[in-house]
Structure 1
Amino acid sequence: MSGVVSGFTVIFLVVALGYILGRTGSLGEHAASVLARMVFFVCTPALLIHSLATSDLSVVFSATLAIASASAVVVGGAYALIAKLWLRRAVPEIVIGALSSSYVNSVNLGLPIAIFVLDDASFIAPLLLFQIVFYSPVALTALDLTALGRGGASDAERTSTLKTVLVPLRNPILVGGVVGLAISLIGWTPPQAVMEPLNMLGQASVPLALLTFGLTLTGVAVFKKGQSPRRDIALASVMKMVAMPAVAYALARWGFGLTGHQLFAQVVIAALPTAQNVLVYATRYQRGEVLARDSALITTLLAIPVIALIAVTLA
């Protein structure tokens, strides 16, 4: 338990530093955007390549992949059903809400928590691959077919759909994961002159991600009356922070027979907050933007106390 407390202390201090830097404007107006792109395009791919290239493949194709995938699909599907039958939302808003309730922030908070709380970054790799290879393309295809209008599907619309499906496959984080997996699969050991720079850049991923997260917490108002779809946000937040960890626990405990640290890790992964990717998708299609933004912020603020409670119960 002391390790969990220590890990959260490290995370909190770095996030707090990012918040202070954001409030004072010390890094400039576009600091969060620049650091986020650095983490996304350089540091996290380097971390994945180095981690996976030096890992056993059984770490990726493991119970974590099955539990994370099933939890996301079950919770996202439940949200979609409730939003359709009770809230009477249109399909694009349902898709954004379903993602808000089940798409995990596996980079900005996932990696730091995996490293400092779970003491093992490999728990995140299966989740990353599932979300980028399967979950994103399916959701983006649904948005492309519904948010942009259909009628008779023209050549331009079909081309747009194809591009949307292919965009996640050009994601640098996915590329890093695939490269790392390929190196591990063929059993090749890259020269030290190649691996060392990857290791150095990868080590910068976690602190930069935490600083970026702290920077993004400044100047944001949530649940604004007359602008926020409060029922949708509340539903997505409860599904993400309560239902998804509960589903993950049931699957891990009774479906896979996991106990101890393995069970704890699966529930913590499920309790990670909504990813910022959902807001990116909502902005792209101009549907459900406030829902995605507010859900991400609320679940992010709830994540630390929820994970701390999980740690007290299961660690």
Structure 2
Amino acid sequence: MLEIFLKTLPFFAVIGLGYLSGRARFFTEEATAYLTRFVFYFALSAMLFGFAANLDVAEIFSWPFVFAYLLGTTTIWLLVAAVALYRGTGKEEAVFEAHTGVIGNVGFLGIPMLALLLGPAAVGPVLLVLAVDLIVFSSILTMVITGLRAGRVSLATFGVLGMGLARNPMIVSVVLGILWGSTGFSLPAPVNEFLTLLGAAATPCALFAIGASLAGRSAERLQVAAWLSFSKLVMHPLAVAAACWLFGVTGYAAGVMIAASALPVAGNVFILAQHYRVAPQRVSTAILLSTAASVLTVTGVIALVSQGG
């Protein structure tokens, strides 16, 4: 446990540095926004393309893996939504609480950290988790919110979903990388070095941006946020672990999936909450609390799966 904690500590130390820089106003909200844009559109995309181009999709893709993650995540999604409705929360707020309780920071935090701690082979399973989060659960969120507001889901809704996926650089870079890898050709040396150089900036810049963005968040609705953080950090990985057992997903792949499920709430959930004007402060506080608590919880889960637990 201590060894894993010492390995994860530098990641959270960079997040802490970003947080302190944001609190001291040395790094403004505008600067954080531009840094995040650089990571999202350039550095992380280069990293993902490079990873995907060197993956054997037939070797990493597994329907039991996908179904296990879908079942575990859907179970917690429905549970959190049901608890919100039981409290008397509005339907839109319940949907966003459910989304907050299951969507982790896989892109900015999970890929670099799990690849380092669990080995390069973790990239393939983590990309599968990221794809399900982006393609399935983000689409569900959009369709449900649109349906609640319009009273129905039209063909135009699916058009919006398709355009959203096509404009997401993480999805595009992974798809293009897989397509290149399927050709059997190696990347030209200058291109590979370019991607390596640019992708190397993804990890420190992404972690710093996470911390700086947290500095601008205020803590409100603490009880609800604590419940959502508990759902994300504890209940979600437990449900995914149970689903892995049910679908027969074992060993390394199961460990990576469970570790990815234990990541704190993703920052893009707040962006969606702001866009739809639904419970942004509630989501913001959950991101803050879950990221702070994940220093211990993520360390514990990674230590457990690393030992075959």
The question of a shared fold, defined as TM-score above 0.5 by the shorter chain, is answered with yes
Aligned counterpart, 2:271: 280
> For 1:132 and 1:311, how far apart are their aligned partners in 2?
23
Aligned counterpart, 2:296: 305
C-alpha distance after superposition, 1:198-248 (max 9, x if no partner): 12111111111111112123243213xxxx3x5543332222122111112
State whether residues 118 and 256 of structure 2, in contact with CA within 8 Å, keep that contact through their aligned partners in structure 1: yes
Cα distance, 1:34–1:248 mapped onto 2, change above 3 Å: same
State whether residues 47 and 199 of structure 1, in contact with CA within 8 Å, keep that contact through their aligned partners in structure 2: yes
Aligned counterpart, 1:144: 146
Q: Is 1:187 aligned to residue 184 of structure 2?
A: yes
C-alpha distance after superposition, 1:254-282 (max 9, x if no partner): 532514x5443222111101111111111
Q: Is 1:75 aligned to residue 66 of structure 2?
A: no
Aligned counterpart, 1:210: 207
> For 1:71 and 1:267, how far apart are their aligned partners in 2?
10
Q: Partner amino acid for 1:112?
A: P
Aligned counterpart, 2:282: 291
Cα distance, 1:131–1:257 mapped onto 2, change above 3 Å: closer
Aligned counterpart, 2:159: 162
Cα distance, 1:83–1:24 mapped onto 2, change above 3 Å: closer
Cα distance, 1:96–1:165 mapped onto 2, change above 3 Å: farther
Deviation at 1:49, TM superposition (A): 0.7
Determine which of 183, 196, 200 is the counterpart of 2:197. Answer: 200
State whether residues 7 and 116 of structure 1, in contact with CA within 8 Å, keep that contact through their aligned partners in structure 2: no
Aligned counterpart, 1:118: 118
Aligned counterpart, 2:248: 256
TM (normalized to structure 1)?
0.86
C-alpha distance after superposition, 1:141-185 (max 9, x if no partner): 211222xx32688xxx86466325531332111100110111122
> For 1:280 and 1:297, how far apart are their aligned partners in 2?
14
Aligned counterpart, 1:135: 137
State whether residues 39 and 205 of structure 1, in contact with CA within 8 Å, keep that contact through their aligned partners in structure 2: yes
> For 1:186 and 1:2, how far apart are their aligned partners in 2?
43
Contiguous gaps of at least 5 residues in structure 2: none
TM (normalized to structure 2)?
0.88
Greater displacement, 197-206 / 11-20: 11-20
State whether residues 19 and 217 of structure 1, in contact with CA within 8 Å, keep that contact through their aligned partners in structure 2: yes
> For 2:74 and 2:152, how far apart are their aligned partners in 1?
30
> For 1:173 and 1:240, how far apart are their aligned partners in 2?
22
> For 2:230 and 2:6, how far apart are their aligned partners in 1?
27
Contiguous gaps of at least 5 residues in structure 1: none
Aligned counterpart, 2:228: 236
Q: Secondary structure at the match of 1:135?
A: helix
> For 1:140 and 1:77, how far apart are their aligned partners in 2?
16
Q: Partner amino acid for 1:287?
A: V
> For 1:64 and 1:22, how far apart are their aligned partners in 2?
39
Greater displacement, 115-124 / 237-246: 115-124
> For 2:29 and 2:52, how far apart are their aligned partners in 1?
35
Aligned counterpart, 1:14: 14
Q: How many residues align?
A: 303
Question: Deviation above 4 Å: which 4+ runs of structure 1?
Answer: 157-161
Q: Secondary structure at the match of 1:73?
A: helix
> For 2:29 and 2:268, how far apart are their aligned partners in 1?
21
Cα distance, 1:151–1:23 mapped onto 2, change above 3 Å: closer
More helix by percentage? 2
C-alpha distance after superposition, 1:269-309 (max 9, x if no partner): 11101111111111111112122211222111111211222
Aligned counterpart, 1:269: 260
Q: Secondary structure at the match of 1:266?
A: helix
Cα distance, 1:314–1:173 mapped onto 2, change above 3 Å: closer
State whether residues 23 and 218 of structure 1, in contact with CA within 8 Å, keep that contact through their aligned partners in structure 2: yes
**What percent identity do the matched residue pairs reach?**
23
> For 2:35 and 2:216, how far apart are their aligned partners in 1?
18
> For 1:301 and 1:20, how far apart are their aligned partners in 2?
13
